[in-house]
Structure 1
Amino acid sequence: MGIGAPPAPWAMLMAEMMVTDYPVSLGFWTDVLGFAIAFERPAQRLACLVHPDGAQVMIYQRDGDWETGPMEAPFGRGMVVQVYVTDVDAVAARVVAAGLPFYVEPREKWRDWGDRMGGQREFLVQDPDGYLVMVVERIGERPLEG
């Protein structure tokens, strides 16, 4: 039986990430990145996690189901999970406090959004299984350059 309740509203896209050590991964997503448990299925070792700023993700202990190929660390090759927050520096400070290395140090980055430039403060960190997580705070927009 589950504990808690689904997030309201459910995200229209939610990553479900297989993990090799559920307690360690749960600690990373909650203590370091600041997510909270919306609901948990303890027998399955699955948690639906929500961030105060609205992001949602599920993690669950690998059980052999839904594995489309060999699972080798780092997991999630070719995928970056983006988490939008209102205070990227506070999350970066928790990464440092946990003694975790940044994959990409905190930085300001401006990208072409088609008809304008979008700016954000961001960093990248790998979770305990190697999934690449980009934590982002949007900082504004400006006209295209040149």
Structure 2
Amino acid sequence: MFTGPTLTPELSVSNIEKSLDFYINLLTFKVKYERKEDKFAMLILGGCEIMIEQVNGYWSTGELAYPYGRGINFQIMVEDVEVIYRRLKAHAYPIKYELTESWYRVDDKLYGQQEFLVMDPDGYLLRLAEDIGEKAV
């Protein structure tokens, strides 16, 4: 019986080593498992799981061109978004949208989060965010 998340994105990447360096050393993901012979890794961060696999033609539905994943962003909830943000800044990694506080209305409440946007080495847009509470509209 499958007991993992019910949606786990698998991202095609141009260079598995470069992507692993970004996700592990900058975003603090951990390797849950990998298949080096397939240039594949399952990564975890808190409750988030993501698969990355070097482009091999198997999953291709069309031509891949940078930036990959156009039209989608992946929100990754973390416990301390500022730590990751500072790590990226310390490594002079480009930030797409600087750290900010945002409030989103859901019915009669506002839900807040600190968040920033960054593109991974292949151009996938990632929104790293931390919950900062709720308030009435």
* TM above 0.5: yes
Q: Say which of 27, 37, 43 aligns to 1:43.
A: 37
Q: Which residue identity does 1:77 align to in structure 2?
A: R
Matched residues, number: 136
1:81-129: CA deviations, max 9, x gaps?
1110010000101111221111000000001122311100000000000
The structure with the largest strand share of the pair is 2
Q: Say which of 91, 99, 105 aligns to 1:112.
A: 105
- 120-129 or 62-71: which moved more? 62-71
Structure 1, gaps ≥5 residues long? 1-7
TM-score (norm 2): 0.96
Q: Say which of 6, 25, 29 aligns to 1:12.
A: 6
Q: Which residue of 2 aligns with 1:132?
A: 125
Percent identity between matched residues is: 38
Q: Give structure 1 regions of 4+ aligned residues with deviation exceeding 3 angstroms.
A: none
Q: Say which of 60, 69, 82 aligns to 2:75.
A: 82
Structure 2, gaps ≥5 residues long? none
**How far 1:9 moved relative to its partner?**
5.0
Q: Distance in 2 between matches of 1:130 and 1:64?
A: 19
Alignment pair present for 1:61 and 2:57:
no
**How far 1:65 moved relative to its partner?**
1.2
TM-score (norm 1): 0.90
